Each structure stands twice: as C-alpha cells, then as structure tokens.
C-alpha cells in the first residue's frame, strides 16, 4: 500500500440554506470558499435540493445557484427520500412471513434526474411540484395533530384522517392548524420530553419510529387478523439499524415537534427531515438553519445515530465565509 496516498475525501452535504448563503456572498466569494471546500470534500446534491431551488423566485437566483452546484457538487444523489425509506420498510417486511410484499401501498419510484438541468432547474416537472405541495400539507397536518393530540392511541386511524384531510386546499389546512393552536395546549408529555434526559427522549423517538413503520406497513391491509399478525411479526424483527434513512428522517421530525420555538409556519419541516434522511450516505452535513442544527445536534439524536451505526458530523453557519471553519470543527 502506498503510504503517501491521499486520504479519501469526505462526503459533504450542504443544505439549501448554505447554497443560498453562498449565492448571497457573490460569485467571487462563493467560488473561493467552494474551491477551498472541495480540496478535502466531495459535495453531494440531492432531489431535495431540486425541490427547494425550483421553488426560488426568479430565474436569476436559480441560475446562479445552479451554476455553482453544476461546477462544484460533483456527487449527485438522485433518489427521492420517499423511495429510499419505502424500500427500507419493504425490506423489513420481507423478513417476516408476509405474502403481501408487493401489494403494500408504498411509493418506491425514484426520480432519475435524467430530464433535469442542474444549471438552470428549468425542467422540474409539475408532478414533482405538486408532490412538494402535498408534503407541505402533510407537514402542517402532522404538526397540528401532534400538538393537539400527541401520541394518538390509534396510529392507523390518524393516518386515515391525514389522507382524508390531504384532499382539502392548503389554505383550509392552514386555517385548521390555527384553530387547533388556538383551542388546545400541547400535551404535558411534550413539556416532559423537552426537559427529559437524552436517553428518555431517545426511547420515545425509537417507540415513535417503530410505531410509524408498523402503521405504514399495514396501512393497506383490510383483513384485521392479517394486520395484527403482520404487526406482531414486524415488531419481532424490527431493528432501527435496518431503516437508517427512515430513522434519521422520523427522529428529526419528532424532535422538531418538541421545539420550544415552534414549528415552520409554512409546513416546510418535512424538507429538513428529507435532507437529513441522507445521513447514511454522507460524512458531514452543514446547515444554515439554526433550528435544524439544534435538532440534529441534540444529544438524543446523536446517540440514536451511534446506535444505528452512523457518525455523521454536523455544523452550522450564519454566512458563507464561515463554511471552511465550520468544516474544520465538525
């Protein structure tokens, strides 16, 4: 082995806010910072970036960020988080004796990115844009239900309610969220978990993740006895290590719901959770969102990552020029 060989570069993921900060800093500063960054890191870009940047107002900002990404982010990950986590659930179900694999109502389609112009974001299709709106609706609903009736006893019924409410216009759901906020207080357990020891929060996270996995797996099964049987079998084979992408995503959503400083009023917390679902495929994650950083640096989250075999480093910046230093300390 050649002792002088260069060490492998870290797989680095910058969230949407960091790329926006780079653009705001100006082309010269952005290129200077990114040239320093890629000397020791390989930059990853994902489907979630595509969603975020396609929503930016104005062709100018989209083009400027697209040119930076096209030049410096040389390691794309064109697989939707939904497709990744759906496959994790399916693989878990395959460990049971279920004959229903293939019939479960999970979307396992992945966006290939072949029709996507990384420099202009000009070919982002309407179907994908509609899916973003759907995710925003779901995020608002989850926030509303979580804060009004945390840990509802019948998870399956709650999912059914969500699917029904998702047919409503987004403005009606925003109104629903306001009414729930006005007429209810967060359950005392939310306050307890905020103040709990990290190990207690992690135990609650793990219970919530497992319950969601089981609920999603049995959602399309009409036979109650078969549903109960599959629930027990999944419970017996469940290990968080088998669903690392999904665990990262759901644990982030869980902790976002406990935040003292509230939730994203626009229903975009799901995009934060989608970004962190890529943790198993990266070595370092930098965000410009302080609230998200507080979530993913929470001791319970860090211990949970260790438990599923991950050591993804995280960092926070307020401006683009802080990026090299953040990488040194992450």
Most confident range, picked from 19-28, 182-191, 213-222, 244-253: 19-28
CA distance 29 to 31: 6
Q: What is the largest CA-CA distance in the chain?
A: 67
SS3 314: strand
Domain ranges of the chain: 10-329
Mind listing the pLDDT tens digit for each residue in 1-16?
455 567 789 999 999 9
Mind listing the pLDDT tens digit for each residue in 233-243?
889 989 999 99
* pTM for this entry: 0.76
pLDDT at position 300, please? 94
Mind listing the pLDDT tens digit for each residue in 91-140?
888 887 655 544 444 443 333 333 334 444 444 445 555 655 665 555 55
pLDDT bin (cut points 50, 70, 90) of residue 248 is very high
- Provide, rounded to the nearest whole percent, the portion of the chain with pLDDT above 70: 62
Helices (H) and strands (E) in the chain, counts: 16, 5
Q: Which residues contact 288 (CB under 8 A, 6 or more apart)?
A: 15, 17, 18, 20, 21, 316, 317, 318
Most confident range, picked from 81-90, 102-111, 206-215: 206-215
């Amino acid at each position: 082995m050649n002792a002088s060989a260069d060490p492998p570069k870290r797989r680095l993921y910058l969230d949407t806010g960091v790329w926006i900060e780079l653009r705001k800093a100006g082309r010269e500063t952005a290129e200077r910072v990114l040239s320093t960054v890629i000397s020791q890191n390989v930059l990853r870009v994902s489907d979630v970036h595509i969603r975020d940047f396609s929503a930016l107002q104005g062709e100018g900002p989209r083009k400027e960020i697209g040119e930076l990404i096209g030049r410096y982010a040389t390691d794309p990950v064109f697989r939707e988080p939904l497709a990744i986590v759906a496959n994790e659930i399916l693989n878990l179900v395959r460990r049971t004796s279920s004959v229903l694999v293939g019939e479960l109502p999970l979307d396992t389609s992945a966006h290939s990115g072949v029709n996507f112009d990384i420099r202009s974001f000009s070919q982002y299709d309407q179907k994908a844009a509609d899916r973003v709106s759907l995710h925003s609706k779901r995020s608002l609903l989850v926030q509303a239900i979580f804060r009004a009736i945390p840990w509802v006893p019948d998870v399956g019924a709650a999912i059914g309610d969500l699917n029904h409410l998702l047919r409503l216009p987004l403005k009606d759901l925003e109104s629903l969220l306001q009414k729930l906020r006005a007429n209810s207080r967060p359950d005392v357990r939310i306050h307890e978990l905020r103040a709990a020891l990290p190990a207690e929060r992690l135990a609650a996270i793990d219970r919530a993740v497992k319950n969601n996995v089981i609920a999603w797996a049995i959602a399309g099964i009409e036979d109650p006895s078969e549903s109960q049987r599959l629930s027990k079998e999944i419970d017996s084979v469940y290990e968080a290590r088998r669903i690392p992408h999904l665990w990262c995503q759901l644990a982030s959503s869980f902790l976002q719901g406990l935040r003292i400083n509230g939730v994203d009023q626009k229903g975009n917390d799901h995009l934060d959770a989608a970004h962190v679902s890529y943790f198993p495929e990266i070595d370092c994650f930098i965000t410009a969102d302080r609230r998200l950083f507080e979530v993913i640096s929470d001791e319970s989250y860090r211990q949970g990552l260790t438990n599923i075999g991950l050591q993804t480093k995280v960092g926070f910046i307020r401006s683009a020029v802080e990026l090299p230093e953040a990488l040194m300390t992450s």
